[in-house]
Structure 1
Amino acid sequence: MLSLMIVVLAAFFIPIVLHRMQWIAIPVVVAEIAIGLILGKSGFGLIEQVPTLELLSNLGIIYLMFLTGLEIDFELIRASKKGCDSSKPNPLWISVFTFVGIFVLALLIAWVIAMLGIVKAPFFMTLIIATISVSVTLPVLKDKGILDVPLGQTILLTAVIADLVTMILLAIYVAFRRSSEGITSMLLIGGLFLAVFLIYWFLIRFVKPSNMIKKIQRETISIGTRGVFALIIFFVALSESVGAENILGAFLAGALVSLLSPDKGFISQLNAFGYGFLVPIFFVMVGVKLDLWGLLNNTQSLLLLPLLLGAFYLSKALVIPIFSRFFGWKRAVASAVLLGSTLSLVIAASAVGEQLGMINATTNTALILAAVITVLTSPMVFQRLVPDEEAVNCVRASLIGFNPVTMQLARDLTRGGYTVTLYGSDKSNLQHMEGSSFKMVELPSNDIDTLKNAKVFDAEIVVAFTKVDEDNLLIAAAAEEQGVNQVIARHETKVNLPEQSQIKVISAFFSNVTLVKAMIEHPSLIDLVTTQEHLQEIRMNNRAYHFIRIRDLDMLGQSLVLRILRGNEVITPHGDTVIHLGDRLIVSDTPEHARRLRRLLGS
C-alpha cells in the first residue's frame, strides 16, 4: 500500500506545485509522467508495480479512453454537415481531406522507418504517427477563443476524425494480429459497432424521453453515473470477447454517451471522477514503467526519439497547403504544429504494441517521450502564431473630439470589447491620459483629408463629437461616403439630413430631456440598460442557425433574448420562436458572453 499512497499523494500535489511555481505551460499529465519517471524504476525506485496499482492503472486507461470518446463533439459534426455560407470554408470536408493526407503521409513515413529496420510493424506505426490528441487541441482552441470559428472547428474536427479512425483501425489490426481468422475477427468487430448502433437507437427511442427514467433520475441522483459505468463495463467485456482491445470498447462507450448529448454538468462530473482519481494514477504509472536507462544505452532506440518526433510533425505537413487556401499560411503552419501533438492514444497503442511484441520496452519509451515533447511544444508554438479571436474580431470605433464625453465613452466601449481610438486636435485640457486603456491620436486639425490620412474611417463605427456642430456633420458625411457602417454626429440644433442618409444625430439638450423623462416614467428600464449586464444587440448571420428555435440555442446559457428585430417587425420571442438570417437579437447579457454569441451567430 506504500506505493499506492506515494502515487496518490504525487497526483494530489502535482497541480498545486505547478500552480505555485507558475509553470502553466506544462500540462498536468506531462508532470504526472515526469514524477512517475523520477519515482519509478528509472529514478529512485520508490514505486513498485504492485497488483493494486496495476489494477487501478488499467482502469485508468479504460476510463481515459472513455473520456476520449466523450470528447468527440457530434453536434459540431452535425452543424458542419448543415453547411455554412457557400463563400466560407466547410470545416467537415476540409477535415476529411486533411486526415486522408495525414494518413497517407504517416503510411509512407512508417514504411521508411520499417525499411531502416527500427520497427517490424509499419501499419501499426502508421496508426501511432497519424494520431492527434483531442485532449490537447480542445483546451488550446478554447483558450484562444477560436473554437466556434471555421479555423477552430476545422482543427478540432480533424483531431476528432483522426482519433475515431485510428482507434477503429487499431482495433481491427490488433484483432487480425491475435487471430488467424481475419474475416471472423472483422465480422465480430462489425457486430460490436452494430451493438453500439442498436443501443443508441434503443436509448433514443425508448429510454431518454421516458417518464419513468425522469422519475428515477429525480429519486436516485446517481442513476446516470451508474448507467455510464455499466455501459463502459459492457462494451469493454464485449470488445474483449470479440478479440479487440478493451480500450476500443471504452472509447465506443464514450462516443455513445456523447451521441446522447448529456448535460454539461453531468459531463463535468464524469471528467472530475476520471481526472481526479483514475487517470492521474495511470499517467504516473506510465512514467514509473518507462525504461529511460534502457533507451539511453540503446543507440538505435535513442536515434528513434528524434525520428519519431519528426514523424509526428512531418505527417501533418499536408495540413499547410490545404489550410492555407482558406486560412492563410501563418495559421496553416500553426495548425499543422498543433495537430502534431499526441499523447493518450500513443500511450494506449504503444502499451498494446508492447504486449503483442510489435515493439520493445525502449521503443515504447521513445514513443511516449516523443509524444510528451509534442504536447509541450505544440500549444506554445500555436499560441504565438495565432492571435486571439476576440482581438481579431473586435469592432473598431473611431471617436473624434477630445472632451470628457468621448473619454468616458471610450472607456465604456473598451470595457465592452470594442477596439477604440480617440482622435482630436487638442488634448491639453484633459488629465490622467497615461492610464488610458484605449489609443489616443493627436491630429493637427479635424479636416477631412487629415482624418483620411489617419485612417479614421477604417473603423466600423465613427462618432463625431467635436465642439463645432458643422464640422461634426462634415465628418459624418465623409464617414458615410467612405462606407462606415454606423455613423453618429453631435449637433445641438435640429438638422435635416437626406432621406437616404443613415447618419444618427445626437443633441446633448434633447438627450438629457429624453433621459430624465425615461427615468421618471421607466426607472427599471434605465437600470437594465446602464448596469454591467446591459442590453446587447447581436446580428444573426450564421446559416447554421437559420430556422433554429431559441430553446435549441444551447450557447445562450443564462442570456435572455428580449426582442428580435426582423426588418421593420419587432418580435417578442418565446422558446419556440425561430431565428432567421439577418435578425437582430436584443439580449440581456454580460459583455464577455455577448462577444462569444457574436462570434457564434455572426460568423
Structure 2
Amino acid sequence: MGIFTLVGTTVVVVKYITVASHCFFAKLRNANSRNTVISERRLILEMSIVSTDLFRLLLLGVVACLAPLLIYITRAHILPVVVLEIVGGIIIGPQVLHWVYVDPILRYLSLMGLSYLLFLSGLEVDLERLRGRIMIFVGSSFLLSLGLALLVGFSLFAIGQVTSPLLLTIILVSTSLGIVIPILKDAGESSTDFGQLVIAGATLGEFGSIILLSLFFSSEANSPAAKVALFGIFATLILLVSLAVFNVHRTTWFTDMEHRFQDSTSQINVRIALTLLVGFVTLAYGFGSEAILGAFLAGVALRIVYKETAGLRPLLRIKIEALGFGFFVPIFFIISGVDFNLYALFTNVSIMLLVPVFLAGLLLVRGVPAILYRQRLDSRHTAIAGLFQATSLTFIVAATQIGMQLGLITSALSAALVAAGLLSVIIYPLFALTLLDRSKGNEKRVPSKELL
C-alpha cells in the first residue's frame, strides 16, 4: 500500500508539474504575443507621429516658400517677408485651417530659429559705430526712450490693462535691427552718415532691450542682487571665451587650417560659428539669462573675431545667413503665427483697442527721442530716423513668448503686441521711405568725423 501510495502521489505530482509547465509556457507565449502586439502598436503610433510631424514641417516649408513669391508677384517689395510668414502661420494654425499644431519638435525648432535670428542680428552689430559723438546721440535717445516707455507702461498698469509694466517698457524700447538694415541697404542709405546714425540707434535699441530682458526677467534667480551677480559672471565668461577664440584665430597654424578646410566638405568656419552659437546659448541658460542674449552675443563675438581677416572667409556670411534665413528663421516666424491668438484679439474689444495704443506707443517711445538727432540732421531726416527706430517686431515676438512662459502677460495681450509690431513694420518704413524719396537731392549731410 505504501508503495502504491508513493507511486500514485508521484504520478499526481508529475501530472501537476506537467500541467503547470504547460500553463506557464502558454502564458509566456501569450505574454510574448501581447508584447509583440504592444510593440507593433507603439511602432505604428511612432510612425504616425513622425508622419504627422513631417507633414506639418512640409506645410511650414510651403508657407516659407510662398511668402517671398507673393511679395515678388504683387511687387510689394517694401513689405518684409516675416509679415507674410506670420500671417501664413495664422492661416495654417488652429485659428483658421487647423492644419498645424505646435508639438515639442516644432517648439524646439522654433527656439532654434529664434536663437539663430538673434545670432544673425548680432552679426549686424558694429561696435565701432557705438563710440564717440554718435554714442552720445544714440545713448541719449535710448535713455529718453526708457523714460517714455516707463511712462507708457505704468500708465497702462494704472488703468489695469497690463500686469507687468516693466516688461512692456522693455518691449517698447526695442528696434528691429534685422529689418531696418535691409531697408536702408535697398534704399542706398546704409553707408551714408544718416544711415550709420539710424543703424547705431537701432543697434543700441535691440542690444539694450535684450540685456534688460535678461537682467530683469531671469528664470534662475529671484533677488536683484543674485540676478546682477549671475549676469556679471555670465558677461565675464563670454568675454574670456571671446578673447580666447580671438587669440586662437590670430595664430598661423589656425589660419593655415582655415585655408585648407574653409571651402571643403568640412566647412570648418560654419562649424565654428554654430558651435560658438550653441556654446553661448548654453552659458546663458546656465547662468539664468535668456537664450536670446547668448545668441546675440555669439553673433557680436563672431563679427569681432572674423572682422580682421574677412578676406579669408568671403563666403562665410553668405553660408551662415543661408542656413538661418533658409530654414531656422522662417520656422520661428511661422510658428509665432501658429501661436497667434487671433480669436482673443478680435473677440475682446479692449484688446483690439490696445493695438493702436501699442502702435502709437512705439512711435512715441522710439520715434520722438530721435528729435535729439536734430543737431546733426534736418527736420525731414530726423522724422525719418524716428520712423525707422519705431519699427519693431522681432524682439516683440520673442519677448511676448518669454512673458507668456513666465505668466506675466496673457496670450490675448501678446497677440495685441505682435499685431502692433506687424503694423509697425508695414506702416513706419513705408512712410520713412516716402519721405526719403522726397528728400533726395536736398538732404543735409553730416561729416563722418563729427559723428564718429
Matching residue of 1:195: 237
Which amino acid counterpart does residue 199 of structure 1 have in structure 2?
V
Residues 133-164 of structure 1: CA distance to partner in whole angstroms, max 9, x if unpaired? 11122122222322233322111111101111
Alpha carbons 1:91, 1:150 under 8 Å: kept = no
1:296 corresponding residue in structure 2:
346
Whether 2:84 is the aligned partner of 1:31: answer: yes
The verdict on how the C-alpha distance between 1:165 and 1:393 changes in structure 2, with shifts beyond 3 A counting, is: closer
The 8 Å contact of residues 4 and 52 in structure 1, kept in 2 or not, is answered as no
> Residues 255 and 234 from structure 1, CA distance in 2 versus in 1: closer, same or farther, beyond 3 angstroms?
same
- Aligned equivalents of 1:356 and 1:162: distance in 2? 23
Determine the structure 1 residue equivalent to 2:273. Answer: 228
Structure-2 residue corresponding to 1:386: 436
2:285 to 240, 243, 246: 240
Map of 1:255 onto structure 2: 300
Query: 1:570 corresponds to which residue?
Result: none
1:324 to 2:374 alignment: yes
Specify whether residues 544 and 98 from structure 1 end up closer, same or farther in structure 2 by C-alpha distance, changes over 3 A only: closer
* Counterpart residue type for residue 179 of structure 1: A
Against the structure 1 CA distance between its residues 215 and 73, is the aligned structure 2 distance closer, same or farther, given a 3 Å change threshold? Answer: same
Within-5 A mapping of 1:491-530: none
Contact residue 367 and residue 385 of structure 2 kept, 8 A: no
> Is 1:161 aligned with 2:204?
yes
Q: Residue 300 of structure 1: CA displacement?
A: 2.4
Distance 1:154 1:23 in 2: 27
Q: Which has the higher contact order (CA 8 A, sep 6+)?
A: 2
Deviations 1:94-113 (A, max 9, x none): 11111111111111111111
1:384-439 CA-to-partner distances (Å, cap 9, x unmatched) read 11248874589xxxxxxxxxxxxxxxxxxxxxxxxxxxxxxxxxxxxxxxxxxxxx
- Which residue of the partner structure matches residue 370 of structure 1? 420
Mapped to 2, the partners of 1:281 and 1:52 lie a distance apart of 12
**1:446-525 alignment to 2 at 5 Å?**
none
When residues 317 and 30 of structure 1 are mapped into structure 2, their CA distance, relative to the original with a 3 A threshold, is: closer
Superposition TM-score, scaled by structure 2 size: 0.81
Partner of 2:184: 141
Shift of 1:283: 0.6
Aligned to 2:103: 50
Greater strand content: 1
Runs of 5+ consecutive residues of structure 1 not aligned to the other structure: 82-89, 395-540, 546-602
- Kindly indicate whether the alpha-carbon contact (under 8 Å) linking 1:134 and 1:159 is maintained by their aligned counterparts in 2: yes
Unaligned runs of 5+ in 2: 1-53
Q: 1:217 to 1:42 in 2, by over 3 A?
A: same
- Does the Cα contact within 8 Å between 1:145 and 1:388 map onto a contact in 2? no
Secondary structure in 2 aligned to 1:327?
coil
Q: Which residue of 2 aligns with 1:443?
A: none
Are 1:13 and 2:58 counterparts?
A: no
Q: Which residue of 2 aligns with 1:215?
A: 256
Amino acid at match of 1:252: L
Instruction: Report the Cα distance in structure 2 between the residues aligned to 1:214 and 1:252, rounded to whole angstroms.
Output: 23
How far residue 322 of structure 1 moved from its aligned partner, in angstroms, is 1.4
Give the 3-state SS of the residue equivalent to 1:26 in structure 2.
coil
Q: 1:219 to 1:170 in 2, by over 3 A?
A: same
Q: Is the 8 A contact 2:380 2:439 kept in 1?
A: no
1:20 and 1:342 map into 2 onto residues whose CA distance is 26
Q: Work out whether residues 107 and 123 of structure 1, in 8 Å CA contact, stay in contact via their aligned partners in 2.
A: yes
Partner of 1:314: 364
How many pairs are equivalent?
388
State the one-letter code of the partner of 2:80: P
* Residue in structure 1 matching 2:75, options 22, 28, 49: 22
- What is the distance in 2 between the residues matched to 1:53 and 1:191? 32
1:282 counterpart residue number: 332
Q: Whole-Å Cα distance in 2 between the matches of residues 378 and 393 of structure 1?
A: 20
User: What is the CA–CA distance in structure 2 between the aligned matches of 1:103 and 1:544, rounded to whole Å?
Assistant: 26
1:113 lines up with 2:166 in the alignment? no
Q: Alignment partner for residue 4 of structure 1, among 38, 46, 57?
A: 57
More off after superposition, 194-203 vs 271-280: 194-203
Per-residue deviation, residues 41-94 of structure 1 (Å, max 9, x unmatched):
1111111213322221111111111111111122333xx53xxxxxxxx43221
Distance in 1 between residues matched to 2:86 and 2:394, nearest whole Å: 12
Q: 1:542 to 1:10 in 2, by over 3 A?
A: closer
| TM-score normalised by length of structure 1 | 0.61
* CA 91–299 in structure 1, closer or farther in 2 if over 3 Å, else same: same
When the two chains are superposed, the root-mean-square deviation of aligned CA atoms in Å is 2.2
Counterpart of 1:348 (choices 383, 386, 398) is: 398
Deviations 1:163-201 (A, max 9, x none): 1111111001112x6533432232111111111211222
Query: Which 10-residue stretch deviates more, 317-326 or 8-17?
Result: 317-326
In structure 2, what is the Cα distance between the partners aligned to 1:258 and 1:544?
25
**For residue 11 of structure 2, what is the aligned residue in structure 1?**
none
* Separation of aligned partners in 2, 1:266 and 1:300: 48
Deviations 1:211-234 (A, max 9, x none): 221222122221111111111111
Instruction: Tell me the residue number matched to 1:494.
Output: none
* One-letter amino acid of the counterpart of residue 248, structure 2: V
- Say which of 123, 140, 143 aligns to 1:100: 143
Query: SS of the residue aligned with 1:147?
Result: coil
